Each structure stands twice: as structure tokens, then as C-alpha cells.
Amino acid sequence: MRRKWVGGNWKMHGSRAMATALVGAIVEASVEGVDVVLCPPAPYLREVCAECAGSSISVGGQDLSEHESGAYTGEISAAMLRDVGCTHALAGHSERRQFHGETDAQVAAKVAQALAHGLTPVLCVGETLAEREAGRTADVVSRQLGAVVAHCGIAAFARIVVAYEPVWAIGTGRTASPAQAQEVHAFLRSQLARDDARIAGSIRIVYGGSVKPGNSAELFAEADIDGGLIGGAALQATDFLSICAAAG
Ligand code: PEP
């Protein structure tokens, strides 16, 4: 039985005061039975890490550089995330792929950087609406996954969380049905099983895309959905905690 995993991606929302209050409420709730990871905006990482210290809540960056260090203005390295207390980093979120032109090769290099610095990468994959409607979902997600397998090796997936996030469901209020999500999760697991059945059986594949308190339990009840990556609903402690409870 895989332990469920719930991440909160705050994106570029909030303020320092809001971050502190939100984390305080989540830490205070002492969530049990589920791995919880908060991904606040970068300027708040250090403070959020300090607030979560000694609790069961982990902290992750929303992105990281594909480079080790150097003249890359504005970038944040894996080593820096580690240095401020992060244990996780999102890689390849669709908003990075869409709005910042991140390629599969760059995402794979980011995953490798995270792994090299002891961070758990949360590898995001997912198709656009046009790709789904053209019947290309499996091709797209297997290409995105395959780029990381090719670059990092299958053994690395023992230390990776995969997030299936259909682009058409992110922040749109339009959620994949449990059956639609389950189909893609099972497909991703089967892709990994071709290389290593043990890793495929133990990896957490979580769903993201308009997960709310009202739909989380039915999504998490699916055999291959091991939790969620939550955007909008992670900005309200009560909503986020209710989603964590559905996973616990
Ligand atoms: C996300 O940001 O990864 C996400 C899934 O957002 P939302 O829950 O708002 O769709």
C-alpha cells in the first residue's frame, strides 16, 4: 500500500503574512497518515521551512535551475533550496513549460539537479486540451516521462514523485473525472513497469488539476492515484486540510 502524498503549490500568490498564517494553521493541524509538502513562493521558503521545522510538513521549491550554479540571473539552484531547508522541488510544472518554454530536456536536467542535491523531484506531466482532443494524451505524457527516464535512469524513480496534471484542468475548475485520471495514472505506471516493476509499484503518482475538498476523496479512491498536487485550494487552510484528510 503506497502512502498518499499531498502537495500545495501556492504559485505566485499571497504575501509574507499570508504565508505565515497559512503554514501556522497547517502545522497546527498535525496532519497524520499522509505526506504533506508545501511549495510557497521562493522569497518565503526560508521562513516557511523554519515554521515547519519539527513538524511532519515538508517544504519544496516551485521550480529549480537546471544548472549547478553560475551566471543565471534570477535562477535558484537545487543546492540553494537544500540550503534553506527544502526537501522537494517541482520540476516541469505546466506553467513553466507553457509560459517559460521549458523543454523536456530542461525538465530532465532539473530533475537530475534535484536528485544530485538530495531533493525529491516532483515531476509534472500532462497534456493540453488540444492534445487530449487529438487523442495524443498517452504520447505526450510518455514523451515527458521518457525524457526523464532517459536522462536520469529508471532507478532514479525510486526517489521521484510524478504529478499528472492535465493542463486543461489546472486552475480552470474543470477536473479530470476519476476514471479519466485513473486511466492516465495506470498508463504512466505501466510505462515505468516496462523498465522496473518494483519501482512502478512503489512510486507515488499524484493528480493535479482543480482538486477541491468536494472531489478529492473520489479521485484518491482510484487505485493508481496516490494523492494530489493542489493549487487554488492550497491557499485556504481549511480546504487544504480537508483534502489532506481525504488522503489520510
Ligand atoms: C497546480 O498548480 O499544480 C494545480 C493543480 O492548480 P489547481 O489546483 O488550481 O488547478
Assigned C-alpha cell, 224: 493508481
By the 10 Å C-beta count (0-12 exposed, 13-18 middle, 19+ buried), 85 is classed as middle
> Residue 207's pLDDT is what?
98
Report the pLDDT value the prediction gives residue 171, as an integer from 0 to 100. 85
1-19 per-position pLDDT tens digit: 899 999 999 999 999 999 9
Q: Is 93 a catalytic residue?
A: yes
Positive or negative torsion for Cα 149, 152, 157, 162? negative
Question: CA 67 to CA 75: how far, in whole Å?
Answer: 9
Mutation choice for ligand 1 from 10, 210, 219, CB with most ligand atoms inside 8 A: 210
Q: Is 231 in the pocket of ligand 1 (CB under 6 A)?
A: yes
Distance of CA 1 to the CA centre of its chain: 20
Determine the Cα–Cα distance for residues 9 and 232; give it in Å rounded to an integer.
Answer: 8
Supply 36's cell numbers. Answer: 504533506
Q: Which atom of ligand 1 is nearest to the CA of 211?
A: 8
Return the SS3 of 185.
helix
pLDDT in tens, 22-60: 999 999 999 999 999 999 999 999 999 999 999 999 999
pLDDT digits (tens, 9 = 90+) for 172-195: 888 899 999 999 999 999 999 999
Give pLDDT tens digits for 199-225.
999 999 999 999 999 999 999 999 999
Any bridge partners for residue 36, and if so which? 6, 57
Instruction: Please name the residue whose Cα sits nearest to atom 2 of ligand 1.
Output: 231
Distance (Å, whole) CA 145 – CA 148: 5
pTM over 0.95: yes
Supply the pLDDT for residue 71: 98
Radius of gyration of the chain (CA): 17
- pLDDT (tens digit, 9 = 90+) per residue, 102-151? 999 999 999 999 999 999 999 999 999 999 999 999 999 999 999 999 99
Domain with 198 in it: what CATH number? 3.20.20.70
Residue 97 to residues 120, 140, 142, 210: CA-CA distances in angstroms?
20, 13, 16, 18
What pLDDT, in 10s, does the model give residues 54-109?
999 999 999 999 999 999 999 999 999 999 999 999 999 999 999 999 999 999 99
Domain count, the chain: 1
Find out whether the beta carbon of 6 lies less than 6 Å from any atom of ligand 1: no
Spatial distance between the Cα atoms of 129 and 192, rounded to a whole number of angstroms: 24
The residue count for the chain: 248
Domain of 161 in residue numbering reads as 5-247
For the purposes of burial, counting CB atoms within 10 Å of the CB of 173, is it exposed (0-12), middle (13-18) or buried (19 or more)? exposed
**Protein residue with least CA distance to atom 6, ligand 1:** 231
